[in-house]
Structure 1
Amino acid sequence: MPQGETFCSAVSKVLFISQIFALLPVSHIRSLNVEGIVFKWLSPHIFYSIIIAILNICEFGAVLNFVSNVAINFHNSSTLSLYIVCLLEHFFFWRLAIKWPRIMRKWHAVEQLFLSVPYRFYGEYKIKKRIYIVFSIVMSSALVEHCLLLLNSFHLSNMERTQCKINVTYFESVYKWERPHLYMILPYHFWLLPLFEWINLTIAYPRSFTDCFIMCIGIGLAARFHQLHRRIAAVHRKVMPGIFWTEVREHYLALKRLVRLLDGAIAPLVLLAFGNNMSFICFQLFNSFKNIGVDFIVMLAFWYSLVFAILRTMLTIFVASSINDFERKIVIALRDVPAKAWSIEVQRFSEQLGNDMTALSGNGFFLLTRQLVLTMGTTIITYELMISDVINQGAIRQKTQYCREY
């Protein structure tokens, strides 16, 4: 790893892109010096984020009005939850932005230990490359999902317009299908479509980016645990002086404090992201048991969205759990310390490793370790068994219903 490759510099471009969608409104996010990263209440980023927040809140009010008029059901309740999750994600990123400069300074201070000798020789984790790969894969897949859902809306709105003989233009039918809650209170104008599509992007973007952000944090922390493990593995079965183990233990404790700091800052985002992912997966699985029609575009958008949600959640768990994976490798390496080299410092280090698990969490409700995959899988299987009585309905594939009643 190059000596200057810190987490702050590695993640700066990714966070800059997120600010386009009004997330994490911090000034000078791409500053090469962490001292330059500041949070200012009077800044263009805050002003822009406030505008987007107001527009999202107004649209959420329109959704509430729509639901109250047509009566709540399983479908529009999912739309309602989508807007609630979106608003909460924007709020939590805003809350994190206030703490972000202080977090980056503390992270940078800890990283200085691992950017100098001897850790420089154990730095092959390539933080920036991994972050860019994860961000590119997740967000490009999210863009494909968004385009498929748009294509699905264009297709269904056109089918509704033609087959149900609705006397409106093509773009007005798209507006009516995509935004029925706004169609009730705001007349159609062509210039509204780009504005509402941008608002739609600010709503859709945080759902995937929150998972991506958790993965970026996991990569940055795992890189330092990786270096610590490699330094210990390099002295495998060798007799080392007590000062070596004292230094290694102090560096481990510095990383441990950093993990606690990050966990306290992003825990609400972790809880919200995984709660939203699980509810969305269960909602889509329920719909898969029902009749979703035989229309190719509808089915393609549906199954892509479901598979993407599952794979994105799994990838988030595996990347974030690498922190705990490297800690377990350190524990295994300590077991190979020769008896004649065993000392009070090694014993203290071993006890500190065994007393507490190092991992990001969802506000203490769960830990981001590999065991979470089994837990979530078990929950989904249990859910499927509970609703198995509707599987027979899903076996009957009928023509997609285009005409809707409001």
Structure 2
Amino acid sequence: MQRSNFLATVPIFQRLTRATPPQWKNKARETDVFLPTLTKIFKFSKWFGIPTYGNKIYFIWATIILLLLFTIVVASIVKVIRSLAGLAQHDSDGRGVTARLSGAIFYTNGLLSQILSWRLIASWKRLSHHWLRVEITSLHLPQDQKIRRRVVIVTCFVAVCAMSEHMLSMMSATGFTIHPEEYFDRYMLSSHGFLFHTENYSLWKVIPTFIMSKLATVFWNFQDLIIILISMGLTSRYNRLNFYVKHIVAKSRRNRSKTDSDMFLHIQIWRKLREAYVKQSSLVRTFDRHLGPLVLLSNINNLYFICLQLFLGLNRGERGVVNRMYYFLSLSWLLFRACSVVLAAADVNLHSKRALMYLSQCPDTGYNLEVKRLKHQLTHDKVVLSGMGLFSLDRQNLLGVAGNIVKYEMVLFQYDKDN
């Protein structure tokens, strides 16, 4: 191509790489809405023990929570060891080791969740700058204006459901036949029988444990919420890229006759697209390294408590309407939250391949070397969130885990029946 023809195409190329569908005009440089929304949620976490966006007072408060959780974890593990060694004098609600082990795992998850969430949010400023740099140096795509509303709705939904489930658990642990002044003692002896019994019950131990139990529940739900929201943001960006590909392919199908300058512009547009997908996959891998420990902790913890709830439900007939309601609501909420974590993260992998469907519709006149490279790149580049590389979060793995849970419960149920 002659130099004069190339210079003539530069302004056209700049317009084509910024603008795409008509509704996208004048939106290319809109302010990002996902990152500030998530930052506001992370700032709120200083109230329950993650002080990244707080002052020294919040740091001291978080340190106290960390030390108290660590103390409860150590005490719980000692109780488990004593129970396994046959030295325990009290049986917690007739479950013995199961109750003590569940309590130890619950508080261990709360401790690790606080540490890992603190670590992730401490690096959020650097991660958000990296995300914004990808947005600026890549194609100028308009923002997903609905992402803010989706993030707020999901956050509020998780908070309301978690509070409702926990309030029902408190009612289930005490019942309605006790006097109000006896409620607190009954609740702690029932829910924390693996730590306290009548002989060693004292308020100076019980009150901090009561507060830590609520915060451990918050950490458990918050770690799942973090994974879901970040996965939603990564999926949203893939959706924008995929829509860009869809528009370019549709435009190529409508305008099949191209001059040499048009062909050159077409190649440059596809090259920009391919580079944008490279940057996006690199962004996902960066977040995968930081999210990996939290993903691993979340899935292991959810899997354990799902199996525990199913096993206890199959082997213990809960009495009373409140107990039955709590069991089904708690199990449903646990299953829903665990599946939401996996499906939200799996959507990143699913949408990273979705542009292949549009590329297969590209006409021969619009097909070029850059389209071939992009097709090869999307086909063979596995973009997925994982649990520190031990497992990938995709929909096939979710079905495999569900099948293993069913087989595990059937084996336990048959074993318990035979004995």
Give the TM-score normalised by structure 1.
0.82
1:403 matched residue in structure 2 = none
1:233 to 241, 246, 269: 246
Would you say the 8 A contact 2:170–2:187 is kept in 1?
A: no
2:88 matched residue in structure 1 = 70
1:95, distance to aligned residue in structure 2 (A): 2.3
Between the aligned partners of 2:173 and 2:155, the Cα distance in structure 1 is 26
1:185, distance to aligned residue in structure 2 (A): 8.4
In structure 2, do the counterparts of structure 1 residues 111 and 10 end up closer, same or farther at CA, with 3 Å as the change threshold?
farther
2:202 matched residue in structure 1 = 188
- Counterpart amino acid of 1:101? K
Would you say the 8 A contact 1:172–1:188 is kept in 2?
A: no
1:14 pairs with 2:32: no
1:113, distance to aligned residue in structure 2 (A): 5.0
1:179 pairs with 2:199: no
1:194, distance to aligned residue in structure 2 (A): 5.5
**The residue matched to 2:390 in structure 1 has which SS?**
coil
Gaps of 5+ in 2: 1-26, 90-95, 253-264
Residues 124-203 of structure 1 mapped to structure 2, 5 A cutoff: 124=144, 126-155=146-175, 169-180=182-193, 181-182=195-196, 187-189=201-203, 195-203=208-216
2:275 matched residue in structure 1 = 250
Which string of whole-angstrom CA distances, capped at 9 and with x for unpartnered residues, describes residues 250-288 of structure 1? 111111111010000010100110111111111111111
Between the aligned partners of 1:96 and 1:169, the Cα distance in structure 2 is 41
2:105 to 65, 73, 81: 81
1:374 matched residue in structure 2 = 399
2:235 to 222, 231, 239: 222
1:26, distance to aligned residue in structure 2 (A): 1.6
**The residue matched to 2:53 in structure 1 has which SS?**
coil
Residues 3-402 of structure 1 mapped to structure 2, 5 A cutoff: 3-23=30-50, 25-27=51-53, 43-67=56-80, 68=82, 70=88, 73-113=97-137, 117=140, 119-120=141-142, 123-124=143-144, 126-155=146-175, 169-180=182-193, 181-182=195-196, 187-189=201-203, 195-239=208-252, 241-389=266-414
Between the aligned partners of 1:169 and 1:143, the Cα distance in structure 2 is 22
Gaps of 5+ in 1: 29-41, 162-167, 394-406
1:208, distance to aligned residue in structure 2 (A): 1.5
Which string of whole-angstrom CA distances, capped at 9 and with x for unpartnered residues, describes residues 154-203 of structure 1? 228x67x9xxxxxx9553333333334155786533x8766443221111
Pair member with larger Rg? 2
Between the aligned partners of 2:236 and 2:137, the Cα distance in structure 1 is 13
More off after superposition, 265-274 vs 89-98: 89-98
1:9, distance to aligned residue in structure 2 (A): 0.8
Between the aligned partners of 1:282 and 1:60, the Cα distance in structure 2 is 21
1:37 matched residue in structure 2 = none
Would you say the 8 A contact 2:109–2:297 is kept in 1?
A: yes
**The residue matched to 1:74 in structure 2 has which SS?**
helix
Aligned length, in residue pairs: 366
1:38 matched residue in structure 2 = none
In structure 2, do the counterparts of structure 1 residues 172 and 296 end up closer, same or farther at CA, with 3 Å as the change threshold?
same
Between the aligned partners of 1:126 and 1:48, the Cα distance in structure 2 is 35
In structure 2, do the counterparts of structure 1 residues 315 and 172 end up closer, same or farther at CA, with 3 Å as the change threshold?
closer
In structure 2, do the counterparts of structure 1 residues 212 and 246 end up closer, same or farther at CA, with 3 Å as the change threshold?
same
In structure 2, do the counterparts of structure 1 residues 61 and 347 end up closer, same or farther at CA, with 3 Å as the change threshold?
same
1:13, distance to aligned residue in structure 2 (A): 2.8
**The residue matched to 1:234 in structure 2 has which SS?**
helix
Percent sequence identity over aligned pairs: 25
In structure 2, do the counterparts of structure 1 residues 45 and 107 end up closer, same or farther at CA, with 3 Å as the change threshold?
farther
Between the aligned partners of 2:43 and 2:295, the Cα distance in structure 1 is 21
Between the aligned partners of 2:112 and 2:317, the Cα distance in structure 1 is 30
- Counterpart amino acid of 1:10? T
More off after superposition, 104-113 vs 280-289: 104-113
More off after superposition, 226-235 vs 58-67: 58-67
Between the aligned partners of 1:322 and 1:342, the Cα distance in structure 2 is 28
Between the aligned partners of 1:185 and 1:3, the Cα distance in structure 2 is 64
**The residue matched to 1:387 in structure 2 has which SS?**
helix
Between the aligned partners of 2:415 and 2:316, the Cα distance in structure 1 is 10
Between the aligned partners of 1:256 and 1:343, the Cα distance in structure 2 is 22
Between the aligned partners of 2:413 and 2:199, the Cα distance in structure 1 is 40
Which string of whole-angstrom CA distances, capped at 9 and with x for unpartnered residues, describes residues 318-344 of structure 1? 222222222221111111222232222
1:15, distance to aligned residue in structure 2 (A): 1.7
Which string of whole-angstrom CA distances, capped at 9 and with x for unpartnered residues, describes residues 212-259 of structure 1? 111100111111111100111012244461100111111111111110
1:205, distance to aligned residue in structure 2 (A): 0.9
1:356, distance to aligned residue in structure 2 (A): 1.7
Between the aligned partners of 1:307 and 1:229, the Cα distance in structure 2 is 34
1:106, distance to aligned residue in structure 2 (A): 0.5
Between the aligned partners of 1:292 and 1:229, the Cα distance in structure 2 is 51
Q: What RMSD over aligned residues (CA atoms) do the two structures have, in Å?
A: 2.7
Between the aligned partners of 1:326 and 1:367, the Cα distance in structure 2 is 15
1:31 matched residue in structure 2 = none
Between the aligned partners of 1:373 and 1:65, the Cα distance in structure 2 is 35
